[in-house]
Amino acid sequence: MEINDKQLEILNVAENLFSIKGFDGTSVRDIASEANVNVAMINYYFGSKEGLLDTLITVRVENFKMDAGSLRGIVSPMEQLEKMIELYVRSMNSNRGLYQVIAVESTIKRKLLLSDSFKELKHHNLKVIEEVVQYGVDRGVFQPGNSYVHIHATLMGTFMNFQMNYLFLKSTLNLDSEEAYSDYIETELVYYLQKNIKALLTYEN
């Protein structure tokens, strides 16, 4: 989908307002005012607030796709798995705005889960995880029989927990800023997930 700079600016403003006021609590006029454009321009580009949301989901979803090509050059199955987890969490963390909205806004969550672009994203990422796991199994490093669907759920579920409990965890972990929280996710949380998923994949039943 081709998006020009003005459309992207409007989408960024809308995403921020949705996260603060909710989808239903944000009007097209609110978005227009914050983006310093008129309502007619938003209607021209997106048709409606719902059309704007659909475009936002489609644009953001592209950012969540794991790059399988960047993993295939890594020979070690363990290093490939570690890199895959790092890329997955960092891609989600770099788009925390939308995930924050999803965590608290049921209207957007329903829209996202039902969208073709999100379904295609899940199929893509599941395929990448499956390939990484199977690569390790074929080389005798990982035990067979582990579900790549469960691994995906572990990655997504853990990250979403950090989104839904942002204020509580920020205080509990003694993190004093948004940047510190983001850095924690991309270091400590990544390490935790790497350690646990490696243990799962190498555990002998």
pLDDT tens for residues 134-166? 999 999 999 999 999 999 999 989 998 898 888
Q: Is the pLDDT confidence value at 109 over 70?
A: no
The rounded distance, in Å, linking the Cα atoms of 49 and 23 is: 9
Give domain 5-59's CATH number out of 2.40.10.120, 1.10.10.60, 3.40.30.10, 3.30.70.3420: 1.10.10.60
Q: What is the pTM of this model?
A: 0.80
DSSP for 46-108? HSSHHHHHHHHHHHHHHHT---THHHHT---HHHHHHHHHHHHHHHHHTTHHHHHHHHH-HHH
CATH topology of domain 64-202: Tetracycline Repressor; domain 2 (1.10.357)
The domains of the chain are located at 5-59, 64-202
Domains 5-59 and 64-202 share a fold: no
